[in-house]
Structure 1
Amino acid sequence: MESHIVKIKTVLQVTHDVKSFRIEKPNGYQFVAGQATEVAINKPGWENERRPFTFTSLNDEPTLEFTIKRYIGHNSVTNQLHLLVPGDELILHDVWGAIEYKGPGYFIAGGAGITPFIAILRQLHRDNQLAGNTLFFANKTAADVIYEEEFTSMMGKNAVYILSREQKDGYENGTINADYLRSHVTDFNKHFYVCGPDKMVADINASLTTLGAKPDLVVFEK
């Protein structure tokens, strides 16, 4: 199993609990938009604490990017990651992942579950192939929405934000469930890309099946 020690080049605050890490890219390191790797911190006691993170950069960029939400806890790897600064080192491993673009459809994300879709949508935007795609992005509050300005710039009204704990102009209020999908999806023969907390993914996949979506057109990390 391959591993690479790489330095962090930049760290940027994205939301109140999400940071973007730009890091060195090992020679020959390749991935498909939507894929991930396991990451560890190259510091004593943390080298074997590997966690999966999706690449949010594009494959042809000279650096790698991860967009990582912080989860508070004494032994939380994401908490430790958020304490790192440029010059600190990470350990990367093999590339893996089942989420990749297969054709126009609906991207359904909950919170940090947006991360596999960031590179996919960025790549489609660069290739001028975003037409026919819609993003439904569920969060608790507007302050939790990752890269909202970028998604809106790329997709316009086809980027839809749903808030479960806040009512605010410009955002829908509620959750993504069967009723929501029934009223917002116009074509259940298209692809569906689903990522978020496990229960959300399971519930949405069940709802999609009930509503007539074809199981082989629903893409998620199994």
Structure 2
Amino acid sequence: MESHIVKVLSVTPVTHNVRRYKVEKPEGYAFVPGQATEVAVNKPGWEDERRPFTFTGLNEWDHLEFTIKSYPDHHSVTDLLGHIQPGDSLILHDVWGAIQYKGEGVFIAGGAGVTPFIAIFRDLQRKGQLGNNKLIFSNRTYADIILKDEFEEMLGNNFINTITREEVPGYEHHIVDEAYLKRKISDFNQHFYICGPDLMVQQLKEVLEKLSGKADLVTVEI
């Protein structure tokens, strides 16, 4: 199994608890939008503590990018990453398949589950192929919305937000369930991509397989 030690080039805030990590790209390292790798922090005692993170940059870039939510209440890799500084290093492993684009459809994300979709949408925009793809993005609070401005610019009215823990003027206040999907989607004969908390993914996978009548139209993170 391959591994690479890469230097962190920059760390910038995205939201109150999400950061963008720009890191060195090993020579010959390649991935497809939506894919991920296991990452460890190159510090004593943490080298074998791997966690999966999706690439949020594009393969054509000269560096790698990760967009990662930190959980300070956990003594974990994500908490440690919240304290990483430029010049520190990470350990990357093999690239593996997560969610890959199969065709135009509806993307449904819960919180940090949006990260596999970032590179997919950026890649489609680069190719001029965003088409009528939609993103339904569920977050607990307005402050949790990752890359709000970029998604609005890319998708316009096809960027649909719902906030579950607070009411915000101009934003939906509803969980993503069967009733909500029926209100937002008129045609279920299209691709669906789901990523988020495990329970949300499982429930929506079952709902969409029923509504579409075709299990192969529903893609979830693997």
Q: Considering the TM-score relative to the shorter chain, is it more than 0.5?
A: yes
Q: Which residue of 2 aligns with 1:99?
A: 99
Query: Which secondary structure does the structure 2 equivalent of 1:202 belong to?
Result: helix
In the alignment, the residues of structure 1 paired with residue 157 and residue 6 of structure 2 have an alpha-carbon distance, to the nearest angstrom, of 38
Deviations 1:146-202 (A, max 9, x none): 000000000000000100011112211111000011111121111000000000000
In the alignment, the residues of structure 1 paired with residue 20 and residue 98 of structure 2 have an alpha-carbon distance, to the nearest angstrom, of 23
Q: Which residue of 1 aligns with 2:76?
A: 76
Residue 74 of structure 1 and its aligned partner are, at CA, apart by 5.1
Q: Which residue of 2 aligns with 1:46?
A: 46
Go from structure 1 to structure 2 and tell me whether the alpha carbon gap of 1:65 and 1:45 turns closer, same or farther (over 3 Å shift).
Answer: same
Letter in 1 for 2:193: Y
Give the structure-1-normalised TM-score. Answer: 0.98
Go from structure 1 to structure 2 and tell me whether the alpha carbon gap of 1:158 and 1:28 turns closer, same or farther (over 3 Å shift).
Answer: same
Query: Which secondary structure does the structure 2 equivalent of 1:181 belong to?
Result: helix
Structure 1 alignment gaps of length 5 or more: none
Which consecutive aligned stretches of 4+ in structure 1 deviate over 4 angstroms post-superposition? Answer: none
Query: Which secondary structure does the structure 1 equivalent of 2:212 belong to?
Result: coil
Could you say what the CA RMSD is over the residues aligned between the two structures, in angstroms? 0.9
Letter in 2 for 1:42: N
Q: Which residue of 2 aligns with 1:66?
A: 66
Q: Does 1:23 align with 2:18?
A: no
Larger mean CA deviation between 212-221 and 139-148 belongs to 212-221
Structure 2 alignment gaps of length 5 or more: none
Query: Which secondary structure does the structure 2 equivalent of 1:84 belong to?
Result: coil
In the alignment, the residues of structure 2 paired with residue 194 and residue 77 of structure 1 have an alpha-carbon distance, to the nearest angstrom, of 24
Aligned residues: 222
> Are 2:134 and 2:158, in contact at CA under 8 Å, matched by a contact in 1?
yes
Deviations 1:21-61 (A, max 9, x none): 00000000000000000000001000000000000000000
Give the structure-2-normalised TM-score. Answer: 0.98
